[in-house]
Chains A and B, each alone.
Chain A
Amino acid sequence: MSTLGLLGLGVSLWLAGALASLLAGHRRAASGWLSVAFLVCGGLLLAAVVVRTFTAGPSPEAVLLRVGAIDADLVVRVDYLSALFLAITSFIAVLTALFSVEYMSRYRHDSVAKYFPLLLVLFVSIAGVVTTADFLSFLVCWELMTVASFFLVIFERESREGMRAGLKYFVVNQAATLGMLAGGLVLWSRVDSFHFLALRDAFGALLGGQPALAHLVIFLFFLAFATKAGVLPMGSWLPDAYPAAPSGATAAFGGTMTKLGIYGLLRVFLEIVPLSPATRAWGLVVALAGVGSLFVGTLTALKQDDVKRLMSFHVIGQVGYMFLGIGMGLFLLARSPMLGLLGLLAGVFHMLNHSLYKSCLFLGAGAVYYRAGSRSLSEVGGLGRYMPVTALCAGTAALAIAGVPPLNGFASKWMIYATAVKAGEQVPWLVLLAIVAIFISLVTLASFIKYLAGAFMGSRTTEEPVREVPAAMLVPQVALALTCVVFGLVPLMPLRYVHAAVTGLLPEAGLPDLAAALGDGPGLQMAVGMPDVAVWAPLPVAAALVVLGLFSYYVIQRAGGATVRDVPAWTCGEEEESTAAHYPASSFYVPFKHAFRGIYPQVRVTPPPLPVWLRRVFDVDRWLHSPTVRMVGRGASGVSRTHVGIPQVYLLWIVLGAVAVVAILLGLIG
């Protein structure tokens, strides 16, 4: 079977899974397990697609459908970049669905028929977005993705905030997509084709002839992808929408959907826009947008008390790192292919890592909510004792996102910093960006220490005992946390595929191969101009940590043979209830938070002063829904008034009815 055949079969299986889970929607567990089964089968096929692409090279294109009216083809193909995203999507898809099976039992009053099918449709549309080679089908899948995720965001219909967040998400993303559509149409009108290669020709001509229009089109594309990725200020929908969705869906958003903004960015700037001074200029914009986003997003995250809201702001911050890496890469490509490549690799690798640890963190937050029933860090606490596996996975992922070596988040951040500092010899302000990024990675650390301390450490605020979450919810977390560790210890392994994906987009740019850029492993050795400019070899450092830690424990800490005794925490002799002496998570870092207050302005949008009658016209509830409901209700109560429960009255009704029927019959005959 051809690669595309496998792809088709895999995606069809996912679609079939959506249908099956919808049909089984009234049975909670069956619906969940069915979707997992279909996702696993389809995911295995997609894994085969990925393996085959990376071993045998990209698949040839195939025309799926011809739309004669507008002379457009729906073109499917799998190149290295598609394969990379397919791999992430199938991995995260299976794990989040598996987590959701048990997790959804929390929502007793909501049917899973409005969850699993949509989740599967979301994954199908993501697979579609990353495997099309023409703008039209890209747009169709993109829209499908927005719609499916919109319904996941408003899963809890009765929650007013959830509905608001969903609406905001939908409107903002639709607006951005409309802009992208306009940009695409401008290009289409030049070449009469939606194929990416044709758009590339159109761009080439446009950049030569009408640079202002070309930049406007690029801007529209940038806006759409930055909005989806959650870069501030366009991404302000994100911290509202993410917490509203169920945690399994949030993990899928954070692990896969947000990343499609990065995918679009790479496609547009490396494939559709030819390498030109425009690439350089827009690289600058992307990098600066990234730094702004990571600065504001992460500092705002520090103030949050809601676990999922905190993590959502970190999505914004982490996307900033990716934009910084990719933007630097685009900016430097023309000046030095080596540094350009390193920047791009760093950004894309960070995206890969972020998929892993952010999904793990959202799942962990879901597990906390599942058992403790609250997402407020000041209310939960001390869960680590009862949920050790969840705590360990969340701890690993939290340290990974904070960039603690030797985990994976550090490897990609290290690449971003090292590239920026090395490029700083030629472009000094890049060093400043690197220093901002280093500072912000500490803020990330602060905020995740707050998360770990608030959720898993300290004492429980209530006496209610909790249990560890079921195995089906643990397996995804453990798998993700382990992958974080593995990617951290052997970063060159995933980087090989990232490198193939990036260089596959720029075959003619003559980018250096991986061994020239980062050495031949197992650690990373950056060589720009001279050998060993920067080095990060996780294995020796991890080995040293383990050996010296063991040495410190067995040779020093246990040297005196001290007897071990468990004692309660000491509150200086005061006999206080632990709740009275509790130091809540909201009290952490108050002076620091105070120094950065007002960094995330809250804008209250007031409705425009429309005339009253116009508002009434739009208020469908007022003149259509509410009156209809009232009338039906009144009718129903009228009918119910006739049912008084007295046999004689019913007899009377029967007699009256018979008389009426006879009268009507007589009337008809006569």
Chain B
Amino acid sequence: MSGDILVTVGLALLNVAVALLLAPLYEGIMRKLRAALHSRIGPPITQPFLDLAKLLGKQDLRAVPGKLYAAAPALTLGSVLTLALLVPMGTRPPLGGAGDIIVLLYVAAISAVLLMLTAFAASGPYGAVGGSREMMILLSVEPVLAVTLVVGALKSGRLATLGILDWQVENGPTMSMAIAGIAFFLALQAQAGKLPFDVAEADQEIMGGPLIEQSGPRLALFRWALWSKQLVFAILLVELFLPWPRFGVFPADLVLTLLKALVVLVLVAVVDVVNPRLRIDQTMGYFTRVAFSSLAALAFAVIGM
């Protein structure tokens, strides 16, 4: 029993470390790639780490008094790290016994909620516009994620992430899960706040939106949370929808998962480079279509394909 707990704690530390330390590295690789596609040299791969280190040492400017506002960035990052504990990375998720896909979906929303509340707290009009857009993106993306995850639950008969993963490994690719995976990938683009869906931040337009008041360590934590979240979602995508081949050896599975997640994020970066920003209504229309198309996956799942 105590050995079991020890393993869980070890896994938890590993998941947190992956989400925390690998995320800036992956972001660095994505930046480099983006620069290459722009025919630029681009910053070194370690640039996100350097950015974070620099920001952490700067002044902590607070536009709103109060402890909750002061702690909002830390809580945001904390919620993303909690999300990382619910996602399998090469083996069972450390908090898998405490939360299934629905919990995962809602825990993922916590960071967005905190970001929006922070934006609205600081009375600036740009922040409020950005927060309002952030909510609308959440409203359009989350149903897509819900449909795709529910498809997995329907196929495997269990809502636990590990249950879906095991079922996938055992039964191989199916039509419904493939469609669901594609829909999930499309939603990932918006979850990561990348073009063409970065309407909430929209630097050239509303100057970072919800992040406009954030600087120094606060900005560092929000950025870090965003990068961790895109990595965690990429890992969730490959674990639930592309878990093959599975060796059953933990380190090998972990390394393979991380490599697949890198490929996914590279694709995200490519989509980001070749697209212009959509307007918020176009974004919502796009995801409405994606959501209704992903219902096809549900239909296939019902007829057992």
A534 and B160 form a contact (CB under 8 A): yes
- B31 lies within 8 A of chain A by Cβ: no
B103 and A553 form a contact (CB under 8 A): no
Contact of A549 among B65, B74, B135, B284 (CB under 8 A): B74
By a CB distance below 8 angstroms, the chain B residues around A217 are: none
By a CB distance below 8 angstroms, the chain B residues around A425 are: 154, 157
A418 and B102 form a contact (CB under 8 A): yes
Contact of A540 among B98, B153, B298 (CB under 8 A): B98
By a CB distance below 8 angstroms, the chain A residues around B62 are: 564-567
By a CB distance below 8 angstroms, the chain B residues around A414 are: 102-103, 106
- B122 lies within 8 A of chain A by Cβ: yes
- A410 lies within 8 A of chain B by Cβ: yes
User: Are A556 and B117 CB-contacts (below 8 A) given A385-B65, A533-B158?
Assistant: no
B125 and A581 form a contact (CB under 8 A): yes
By a CB distance below 8 angstroms, the chain B residues around A438 are: 102, 105, 142-143, 146
- A442 lies within 8 A of chain B by Cβ: yes
Contact of A562 among B16, B56, B125 (CB under 8 A): B56
By a CB distance below 8 angstroms, the chain B residues around A325 are: none
Rounded to whole Å, the gap between the CB of B292 and the closest CB of chain A is: 11
- B216 lies within 8 A of chain A by Cβ: yes
B63 and A569 form a contact (CB under 8 A): yes
B98 and A536 form a contact (CB under 8 A): yes
Interface residues of B in 115-167 (CB under 8 A from A): 116-117, 120-129, 131-132, 135-136, 138-139, 142-143, 146-147, 150, 153-154, 157-160, 163
By a CB distance below 8 angstroms, the chain A residues around B61 are: 565-567
A556 and B56 form a contact (CB under 8 A): yes
Size range of the chain A interface in the assembly: 35 or more
By a CB distance below 8 angstroms, the chain B residues around A421 are: 150, 153-154, 159
- A653 lies within 8 A of chain B by Cβ: no
Instruction: Determine the distance from Cα of A74 to Cα of B38 in the docked complex, in whole angstroms.
Output: 83
User: Are A529 and B113 CB-contacts (below 8 A) given A418-B102, A560-B56?
Assistant: no
B216 and A562 form a contact (CB under 8 A): yes
Question: Which of these binds chain B: A41-49, A199-207, A247-255, A450-458?
Answer: A450-458
A445 and B109 form a contact (CB under 8 A): yes
Rounded to whole Å, the gap between the CB of A317 and the closest CB of chain B is: 15
By a CB distance below 8 angstroms, the chain A residues around B105 are: 438
B218 and A537 form a contact (CB under 8 A): no
Instruction: Determine the distance from Cα of A534 to Cα of B125 in the docked complex, in whole angstroms.
Output: 42
Contact of A403 among B82, B106, B129, B135 (CB under 8 A): B106
A443 and B139 form a contact (CB under 8 A): yes
Instruction: Determine the distance from Cα of A442 to Cα of B287 in the docked complex, in whole angstroms.
Output: 15
Contact of A545 among B16, B73, B78, B102 (CB under 8 A): B78
B99 and A582 form a contact (CB under 8 A): no
- A6 lies within 8 A of chain B by Cβ: no
Chain A residues engaging chain B, CB cutoff 8 angstroms: 382, 384-385, 388, 399, 402-405, 410, 414, 417-418, 421-422, 424-425, 428, 431-432, 434-435, 438-439, 442-443, 445-446, 449, 452-453, 457-459, 523, 526, 529-530, 532-537, 539-541, 544-553, 556-572, 578, 581-583, 587-589, 591-592, 594-595
Q: A457-B117, A552-B73 are in contact. List 18 more A-B contacts (CB 8 A).
A: A414-B103, A533-B163, A534-B102, A540-B97, A540-B98, A541-B103, A544-B82, A547-B78, A549-B71, A549-B75, A556-B77, A556-B217, A556-B221, A559-B217, A564-B62, A582-B125, A588-B135, A594-B281
Closest 8 A/B residue pairs (Cβ): A549-B78, A453-B120, A553-B74, A583-B128, A560-B57, A537-B98, A552-B74, A560-B56
